[in-house]
Amino acid sequence: MDLGLLVILGGSAALSLGGGWVCISRWSRIRHLQDTPTSRIRSAAQGYVELVGILRPLGDVPLIAPLSGEPCLWWRYRIEEYRSNGKRSSWSVVERGVSDGWLRLADATGECLIDPRGAEVRPAFRRVWSGSLRHPRGMPLRGLLGIGRRYRYCEERLHADEPLYAIGDFRTTGGGRQGLDLATARKQVISEWKGEYAGLLQRFDSNGDGQLDEAEWRRVRLAAGLEAEERHRHASTGPAQHRLARPTERLPFVLSSHGEEVLARRYRWQALGGALMCLAGALLLSAKLA
């Protein structure tokens, strides 16, 4: 079997497997989106939930998008350089970035803070333009301006008062809704106390020998348990704080300016494209092996 045929067979197999993976993953996302009912923030259950609301500013100072300099709540950008090498030319990514500041989502019942790290973010605002500077707001960030160079910029943003669809892991602290895992909380308190070991000895080293024996450690654990319970009581009396973040399990974490139906339609087209890729790769592989 010659090298060319091996390359074709390998490419066909990769095309088929890749298309199959795209198809399955996109249909899985559709299922999770459609099977998860929309919840109100105040009454949402703990765990994987779907929320719909309006983005509100978090603090008095807005984020500034790095390419356009426009105020926003979240941004993502990409800078590409046009490169030509003989008969081949293409756009190559030379810089990219994404903000990781928290977002604040509000509905008629309450507010929820969102940690966007790890999310698939699909904003409605997307701008693409070109220029001759490495960075469009001024001189290039790295290196000097190259004569005759061409750059393409892409910037996506989320803004205040825009609608947002969000699906991810929802957790509430305070408001009497958080249960106490005493063993874990006690370990956390002891770990904090160990960070100031001199203070720990001063409080619990009864015989003054510079170390804690078993009886003294029992007192440490008892005091740490009482401290953990007191912290929990104090936290429970405060207002409830809701947070949405990336699920620990392999579940979709999506933030979108578009609603569920728009997202589901996009995923269907992507799943169809993956199925066609899988079929094309399988047919090509069968034809070469026949």
Report the pLDDT averaged over residues 249-264: 82
> 158-199: per-residue pLDDT in tens?
999 999 999 999 998 776 555 667 788 888 888 888 888 888
Q: How many residues does the chain have?
A: 290
Question: Quick check: helix, strand or coil at residue 239?
Answer: coil
| Alpha carbons 88 and 57: distance in angstroms, whole number | 46
pLDDT at 230: 83
User: In the beta sheet, which residues pair with residue 125?
Assistant: 157
Q: List the one residue out of 29, 16, 2, 12 whose CA is nearest residue 271.
A: 29
**pLDDT tens digit sequence for 65-105:** 999 999 999 999 999 998 888 778 888 999 999 999 999 99
The pLDDT value given to residue 229: 83
Pick from 43, 40, 73: nearest CA to 56: 73
Q: What is the C-alpha separation between 232 and 120, in angstroms, rounded? A: 34
Q: Going by C-beta distance under 8 Å and a sequence separation of 6 or more, which residues neighbour residue 41?
A: 51, 53, 105, 106, 107, 109, 110, 111, 112, 242
Note the pLDDT of residue 118. Answer: 93
Tell which wins on pLDDT, 7 or 68: 68
Q: What is the pLDDT of residue 145?
A: 46
- Taking phi over 0 as left and psi of -120 to 50 as alpha, with beta for the rest, 100 belongs to alpha
pLDDT number for residue 289: 64
At 17 the pLDDT is 73
Over residues 29-40, the mean pLDDT reads 80
pLDDT at 77: 95
pLDDT category of residue 1 using cuts at 50, 70 and 90? low
pLDDT (tens digit per residue) in 233-249: 776 666 778 999 999 88
Please give the backbone phi and psi of residue 186, each rounded to the nearest 5 degrees, phi first.
-65, -40
Which are the contacts of 71, defined by CB distance < 8 A and separation ≥ 6? 62, 63, 64, 65
Give the strand pairing for 88-98 and 74-85.
Answer: antiparallel
The mean per-residue pLDDT over the stretch 30-40 comes to: 81
Q: 24, 31, 9: which is closest to 274 by C-alpha?
A: 24
Q: Distance between CA 208 and CA 205 in Å, rounded?
A: 5
The CA-CA-CA angle for residues 69, 73, 74, to 5°, reads: 80
Instruction: Express as a percent the part of the chain with pLDDT over 90.
Output: 33
Q: Are 172 and 43 in contact (CB under 8 A)?
A: no
Contact call for residues 65 and 79 (beta carbons, < 8 A): no
Q: What is the pLDDT of residue 285?
A: 65
Rounded-to-integer distance, Cα 158 and Cα 74, Å: 5
Question: Residue 142's pLDDT is what?
Answer: 46
Select the more confidently predicted residue: 112 or 201: 112
Task: Please report the pLDDT score of residue 72 as a whole number.
Answer: 94
Beta bridge partners of 130: 152
- pLDDT value, residue 141: 45
**Residue that wins the pLDDT comparison between 115 and 62:** 115
* Res. 48: pLDDT tops 80: yes
Strand partners, 157: 75, 125
Q: 3-state DSSP call for residue 87?
A: coil
Is residue 143's pLDDT more than 50?
no
